[in-house]
């Protein structure tokens, strides 16, 4: 039975917790040991537990996992938008040469949209219903570039709308005059106004029909190519992930349990939870047969001892119920947080 006893192994696991270091130079985004906790009347819920990864310019990372696994909390923590009773407890988020966690509130306000942009989950609830789309875009630019001439601001806004395949007439419209897909593309246009280095898209296709979903994803693809940003795509739709991302990160109970390329994830997942996610997808070989994951995701207030997934895991060993697995980097370069791969790591 594999164990984790040597100090070398513990040291190596800590160093390995920066998955897939970007190739070809310094990464544009580096998240290091990020932790966030919600303090509630029922107790302390650790929503992010030592999360680390890096991304290069032009890369797309898909972040997947069940509801409550910490995906949206990760996005909000990176933007420093966690509100009470939540609190960022530690870690760094470095964009380019800037550690966002060390900035003052005013500096962080300026970094949002210019260095790191967030495309929210509900576009229909994100736009001001009583203000024209153009006024909202102009306000965003003015707050970051106070001395910009109005003509330059208008041209910047029009270019952003054209980049997401929207007519310039949208500039003078209100949110209620737009369809769901158009609202989502307006949010993308606002997100790229200042050409940020990192874009976080939190379930950008939720509540949209399948045709509009594809249009929105193709829009994100196109604007990413234009500004060469790193993109984090958060969602549940594994089909969209398979088509649009380069790498997939699987979260469970606030931890990253596996990070690999999209091809490796769909052809040979390593972590038992990742295998269960992929196995639950419908396929042509087993028409009409649907395979779910037994049990429920644990409450963050009452996580089981050892590995959080072990009560649902078909490959659970004795060590899984007593010892928390460390992040391991396999010989192939893949990252997995599981006792099954201690010796291979």
Q: What is the pLDDT of residues 163-179, one digit of tens each?
A: 999 999 999 999 999 99
- The pLDDT tens digits of the residues spanning 9-32 come to 333 444 444 555 544 457 999 999
Architecture of domain 7-282+295-341 in CATH? Answer: 3-Layer(aba) Sandwich (3.40)
Supply the pLDDT for residue 18.
52
Domain segments of the chain: what residues?
Answer: 7-282+295-341
DSSP 25-49: SS-SEEEEEEEEEEEETTEEEEEEE
The pTM of this model reads 0.88
Q: How far apart are CA 137 and CA 121, in angstroms?
A: 18
| Helix residue ranges, H only, the chain | 7-15, 71-78, 105-114, 123-126, 133-144, 150-163, 180-191, 210-227, 238-244, 262-267, 272-279
Supply the pLDDT for residue 160.
94
Strands 230-234 and 198-202: parallel
Q: How far apart are CA 245 and CA 58, in angstroms?
A: 11
Among 338, 328, 331, residue whose Cα is nearest residue 52 = 328
Supply the pLDDT for residue 19.
52
Q: How far apart are CA 190 and CA 196, in angstroms?
A: 11
Among 36, 19, 32, residue whose Cα is nearest residue 254 = 36
pLDDT above 50 (res 3)? no
Q: What b-and-e string marks burial along 195-232, b requiring 16 or more CB atoms within 10 Å of the CB?
A: bbbbbbbbbbbeebeeebbebbbebbeebbeebebbbb
Residue 32 pairs in a beta bridge with 92
pLDDT class of 292 with cuts at 50, 70, 90 = confident
- The pLDDT tens digits of the residues spanning 239-288 come to 888 889 999 999 999 999 999 999 999 999 999 999 999 888 877 676 76
């Amino acid at each position: 039975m594999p164990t984790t006893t040597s100090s070398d192994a513990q040291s190596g696991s800590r160093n390995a917790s920066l998955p897939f270091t970007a190739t070809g130079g310094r990464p544009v985004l580096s998240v290091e040991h990020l932790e966030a906790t919600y303090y509630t009347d029922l107790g302390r819920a650790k929503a992010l537990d030592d999360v680390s990864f890096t991304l290069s310019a032009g890369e797309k990372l898909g972040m997947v996992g069940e509801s409550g696994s910490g995906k949206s909390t990760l996005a909000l923590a990176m933007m420093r938008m966690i509100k009470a009773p939540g609190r960022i407890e530690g870690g760094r988020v470095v964009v380019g040469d800037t550690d966002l966690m060390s900035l003052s509130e005013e500096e962080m306000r300026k970094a949002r949209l210019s260095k790191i942009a967030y495309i929210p989950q509900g576009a229909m609830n994100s736009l001001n219903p009583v203000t024209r789309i153009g006024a909202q875009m102009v306000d965003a630019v003015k707050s970051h570039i106070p001395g910009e001439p109005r003509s330059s601001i208008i041209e910047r806004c029009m270019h952003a709308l054209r980049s997401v395949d929207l007519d310039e007439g949208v500039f003078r419209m209100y949110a209620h005059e737009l369809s769901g897909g158009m609202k989502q593309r307006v949010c993308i246009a606002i997100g790229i106004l200042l050409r940020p280095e990192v874009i976080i898209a939190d379930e950008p296709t939720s509540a949209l029909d399948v045709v509009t979903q594809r249009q929105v994803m193709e829009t994100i693809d196109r604007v990413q190519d234009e500004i060469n940003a790193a993109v984090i795509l958060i969602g549940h739709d594994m089909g969209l992930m398979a088509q649009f991302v380069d790498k997939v990160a699987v979260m469970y109970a606030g931890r990253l349990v596996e990070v690999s390329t999209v091809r490796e994830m769909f052809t040979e997942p390593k972590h038992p939870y990742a295998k269960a996610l992929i196995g639950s997808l419908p396929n042509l070989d087993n028409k009409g047969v649907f395979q779910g994951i037994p049990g429920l995701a644990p409450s963050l207030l009452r996580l089981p001892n050892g590995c959080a997934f072990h009560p649902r895991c078909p490959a659970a060993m004795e060590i899984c119920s007593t010892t928390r697995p460390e992040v391991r980097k396999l010989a192939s370069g893949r990252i997995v947080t599981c006792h099954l791969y201690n010796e291979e790591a």
